[in-house]
Structure 1
């Protein structure tokens, strides 16, 4: 019997994917100090939190045939389809020029590429003593060499957050529910907000993506190690603070937590479409109102995509092999049921025929004896 879903993580997943849409929508806004600060504050901790939750929910992954097939079906196949789909949209509608499709993930597709490799690494790091320390070392060193192919730079750079999720247990996470921890968490987020107001003094926004090599950021190796280590600490504190503040209540928002992949894969079309339609020009003229309206529309978009009527339809596109499998399964069940009905009908016919024979036999017998 499947264990019931934890509304805490459904709420966290839905909140985090909504923040993804929110952050991407801010790219349409003018580069004001207010927007840049909000963007840096969000990206300092919400991607680490997203990866940490992903790691926690990946703990049961193994190298079994069923798990590997599920990884291909739910991660690799959507990556191939949506990398092509959003690239076609950007080229045909937006007139953009894109190169290295599938080899170099474009825009939000990096997460599926990273998730594929993180899941494969799960059995290695889950039970490895010192695995978190090793992941941190890998992240620090990766900045020297990691490249763009399948976004391996992000795979390795964000690895500590994924391993932190793997190492988490329900008992350890329960400690975040204490009242004093929640109070401290508010102070932590306030502190991060203050620190990110000064991000450009010690780390440009590009650092928050964990994708660039250190030499591309024009800093010494020692400065680079220190900067990334600081961001790992900042991201961990922010992620933990976020989780501590997420409510553990079942409701309509938590029920949307099962549709986060739908939101993630489809929101890019709407964001890019708004950009092509000239939304950025509108917000240039009204920066404050544009920030508020864009943010509200982004949240509304996430909720719309995750709403049950919409998500039920779009899930078939996200998981076409699963949809086809379910259709085949339904057809097989119908065929089996039909066969059973036919067999039952034949049995009834045989019983009726036997009863007719039994009733006719006493009438014919006397004639035969006469």
Structure 2
């Protein structure tokens, strides 16, 4: 979701017969912008399925499948483009973190609070330490990026982060401040992204990987269909400890690496099919933060207007229409006109509020 500038070196062969994508004129690799756009579409469609009445086993299967990897792949990409963060850049580094994540979080926390108060919940409280629904990602990314120098120093960073995530899943006493459960349990994907290099993405874009991803996804869908009546999708939210989900505490230590492995495999399958070249969706990939932060108003608004109570929504055709509408809606929210309109809130320019850098 955050705008991740993807500046790349000169293109090289990926070892599988297909050349790596060349940067566009703006210096951005279209592969990553395409990946972010397709991922934000999955996020919006998944959110549009949540209020469906009696969604049925098929929708629940697709929901489970999508939620296995759609946020992990976003976080992996965020980690990949955070590799250059170092404390040596001093105040500039901290300033960018605050203006790019903390300020938009505060703005949209207030905006969503006002939205709730004006649409039927007048006593909805403003609680900065309790992120509203989808806003958890901003403080999470802020905290992850603060720890980047540590992960660039420690040995076996992914293994260490998995241990921390498992400890979070085992414990049910972490509390809800800044949704720290999610911060801990999604941490390994960010750390993994920090360790990746262009060659890793070149590998998953090989034709052999692309072909292998088809049966892998079919098996994953079959497993999801089998698992729907036997488990809860709340595991995929990474918001609760094992005991809060009705399982023994030790289950969290088992489920954490299992979900990590599943997310890693399906993320690779997803990335294998992301186009390398510049397409109509490429420019939209630079605006995924806008689509992420704004689409919540549309979905919550549809719920408050009782649009999900319409008879057609309960039919197979209605579920398809909801999915298509969600994809179209988030696409529109990533377009340049919307970005220009809301740039003051999503990407505020606060240079006047900053002291001159003594080093400069």
Match of 2:82 in 1: 58
For 1:32-51, list aligned pairs within 5 A. Answer: 32-51=56-75
Return the alpha-carbon distance in structure 2 between the equivalents of residues 314 and 135 of structure 1. Answer: 35
2:101 equivalent to 1:75: yes
* Contact 1:7 1:248 (8 Å CA) reproduced: yes
In structure 2, relative to structure 1, the CA distance for the partners of 1:285 and 1:235 (3 Å cut) is closer
Corresponding residue of 1:20: 43
Kindly state the Cα deviation for residue 105 of structure 1 after the two structures are TM-superposed: 1.0
Q: CA RMSD in A?
A: 2.0
Higher fraction of helix: 1
Aligned partners of 1:285, 1:314: CA distance in 2, in Å? Answer: 31
Per-residue displacement from partner, 1:96-146 (whole Å, max 9, x unpaired)?
A: 754561111120001111111111111111342200000111111112333
Task: Summarize the alignment of residues 303-314 of structure 1 with structure 2, pairs less than 5 Å apart.
Answer: 303-314=331-342
Q: 2:319 pairs with 291, 298, 307, which one?
A: 291
Change in 2 beyond 3 A, CA 1:281/1:131: same
Runs (4+) off by over 3 Å: 96-100, 200-203, 283-286, 324-328
> Quick one: distance in 2 between partners of 1:186 and 1:312?
39
Deviation at 1:92, TM superposition (A): 1.9
Tell me the equivalent position of 1:281.
309
Q: Determine whether 1:252 maps to 2:280.
A: yes
Partner of 1:94: 120
What does residue 195 of structure 1 align with?
223
Q: C-alpha displacement at 1:183, in angstroms?
A: 1.0
Match of 1:362 in 2: none
CA contact (8 A) 1:23 1:42 kept: yes
User: Any idea what SS the aligned residue of 1:30 has?
Assistant: coil
Show the counterpart of 2:186: 158
- Paired residue for 2:169, among 115, 125, 143? 143
Match of 1:113 among 139, 143, 149: 139
- How far apart, in 2, do the equivalents of 1:127 and 1:168 lie? 15
Number of residues of Structure 1 aligned to a counterpart in Structure 2 = 325
TM-score by length of 2: 0.85
Other structure's SS at 1:310 match: helix
| Residues 96-105 or 115-124, more deviating | 96-105
Find the aligned partners of 1:317 and 1:108 in 2 and give their Cα distance.
16
Distance (Å, rounded) in 1 between the aligned partners of 2:78 and 2:28: 15
TM-score by length of 1: 0.83
Superimposed CA distance per residue, residues 156-204 of structure 1 (whole angstroms, 9 cap, x where no aligned partner)? 1011111111100001221112111111122222222111112246541
Going from structure 1 to structure 2, the CA distance change for 1:71 and 1:292 (only over 3 Å counts) comes to same
How far 1:287 moved relative to its partner?
2.1
Secondary structure at the aligned position of 1:197 is classed as helix
